[in-house]
């Protein structure tokens, strides 16, 4: 089965290089579709598959994933694997996703992700990633060889997931009303369920998230999260990302108006 890995990139070149190395070390042959956003240096490489400019509202992450998926389909991909640029692939990840997408093509599959500690001076040892396996506790983590079906759409994330080409076409891809950080992956999961697809987790498709500094809550993304939360609310009637929004509210960064909408302060 032909599989393609779609990775959206905005100036994380070191992480991308390590991801490419992890995919090369894998058991399955893969077409790596790299989509650059506002990244002229990456766009100039002969292996960059597509590029998009930024927008006045921010990085068009949803649109970039859709562009990458279309490139992959045009090249003949039967399985689409979406991997965040920060993620390293276990050597079995692509093969595991391809196998499960072929066996159950009406399901969109996610795999467990381990958040890694800072790397040693000589970088992560790609041959020893499995020794670091400790999936994020907030998401399902089936063992290798196990599958879970009927997954909660609110726990879907776009760090690592895959689907058959048929499932992708039925889903319609990511809603491009979302721009910047947050909300588009939960929306995608809900759309998938609404068109009769299932959500599942496959234990053999394991990934490892490379360390980088983060903010808790992600205050640098307040504007994106508030805007995308309103897009989500207009589509589904509820607000997503409440943990972040309430944390922002405690810090005086956002407020709710009389209609229940979240608004950035200032």
Per-residue model confidence as pLDDT tens for the chain (266 residues): 589 999 999 999 999 999 999 999 877 789 999 999 999 999 999 999 999 999 999 999 999 999 999 999 999 999 999 999 999 999 999 999 999 999 999 999 999 999 999 999 999 999 999 999 999 999 999 999 999 999 999 999 999 999 999 999 999 999 999 999 999 999 999 999 999 999 999 999 999 999 998 888 999 999 999 999 999 999 999 999 999 999 999 999 999 998 889 999 97
- Ranges of each domain in the chain: 3-209, 219-264
Predicted local distance difference test score (pLDDT) of residue 214: 84
Question: Is the domain 3-209 a CATH 3.90.550.10 member?
Answer: yes
Strands 87-89 and 207-209: antiparallel
**For the purposes of burial, counting CB atoms within 10 Å of the CB of 86, is it exposed (0-12), middle (13-18) or buried (19 or more)?**
buried
Q: CA nearest 16: which of 116, 89, 115, 69?
A: 89
Q: 163: which strand partners?
A: 80
- pTM, two decimals, is 0.96
């Amino acid at each position: 089965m032909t599989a393609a890995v779609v990775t959206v990139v905005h100036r994380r070149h070191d992480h991308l290089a390590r991801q490419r190395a992890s995919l090369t070390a894998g058991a399955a042959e893969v077409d790596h579709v790299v989509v650059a956003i506002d990244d002229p240096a990456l766009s100039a490489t002969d292996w960059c598959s597509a590029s998009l400019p930024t927008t006045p509202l921010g990085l068009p992450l949803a649109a970039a994933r859709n562009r990458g998926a279309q490139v992959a389909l045009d090249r003949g991909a039967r399985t689409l694997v979406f991997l965040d640029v920060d993620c390293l692939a276990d050597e079995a990840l692509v093969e595991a996703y391809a196998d499960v997408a072929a066996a159950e093509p009406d399901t969109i599959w996610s795999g467990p992700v381990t958040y890694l500690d800072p790397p040693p001076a000589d970088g992560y040892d790609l041959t020893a990633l499995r020794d670091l396996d400790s999936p994020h506790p907030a998401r399902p983590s089936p063992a290798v060889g196990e599958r879970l079906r009927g997954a909660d759409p609110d726990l879907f994330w776009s760090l690592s997931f895959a689907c058959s080409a048929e499932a992708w076409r039925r889903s319609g891809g990511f809603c491009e009303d979302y721009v910047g950080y947050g909300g588009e992956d939960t929306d995608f999961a809900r759309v998938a369920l609404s068109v009769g697809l299932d959500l599942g987790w496959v234990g053999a498709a394991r990934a490892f998230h490379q360390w980088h500094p983060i903010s808790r809550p992600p205050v640098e993304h307040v504007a994106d999260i508030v805007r995308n939360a309103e897009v989500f609310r207009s589509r589904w009637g509820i607000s997503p990302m409440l943990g972040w929004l309430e944390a922002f509210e405690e810090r005086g960064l956002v407020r709710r108006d009389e209609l229940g909408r979240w608004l950035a302060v200032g």
